[in-house]
Amino acid sequence: GENVEQHPSTLSVQEGDSAVIKCTYSDSASNYFPWYKQELGKRPQLIIDIRSNVGEKKDQRIAVTLNKTAKHFSLHITETQPEDSAVYFCGGTSYGKLTFGQGTILTVHP
């Protein structure tokens, strides 16, 4: 089955800095890679996703890049704000099953 590794487990940045979270996956058949944000005490919510036929996708301050050859993908957040503080999960879908990474606790200091 799919195995998704996520790094770092915690990330602390100053407001205005960029943040990068990286994930690797094991199953070359994986074709869908979402990123979810979970604020404290809330439900996970999708913030951006990318499919295997695309190398990069951007939505305002967030972007995701995918390297299928190396089997890794990354989330980039620019101009971070305190409200970006949350747990971020990457995921990989293989044969209809979505597996999440271990999560990254992002803290943005004002």
Partner 1 sequence: DTAVSQTPKYLVTQMGNDKSIKCEQNLGHDTMYWYKQDSKKFLKIMFSYNNKELIINETVPNRFSPKSPDKAHLNLHINSLELGDSAVYFCASSSGTGNEKLFFGSGTQLSVL
Binding site for partner 1 (CB under 8 A): 31-32, 34, 36, 38, 42-46, 49, 51, 87, 89, 93, 95-100, 102-103, 105
Q: How far apart are CA 105 and CA 12, in angstroms?
A: 8
Strand partners, 7: 22
- Rounded least distance, CB 15 to partner 1, Å: 23
Nearer Cβ to partner 1, position 50 or 108? 50
Q: How far is the CB of 100 from partner 1 (least distance, A)?
A: 4
To which residue do tokens 């998704």 refer? Answer: 4
- The DSSP letter of residue 16 is T
- Residue closer to partner 1, measured from CB, 42 or 109: 42
Of 58 and 97, nearer to partner 1 (C-beta) is 97
Residue 60 CB contacts under 8 Å (≥ 6 apart), including other chains: none
- Least Å distance between CB 41 and partner 1? 9
What one-character-per-residue DSSP string does 18-34 give? -EEEEEEES-TT--EEE
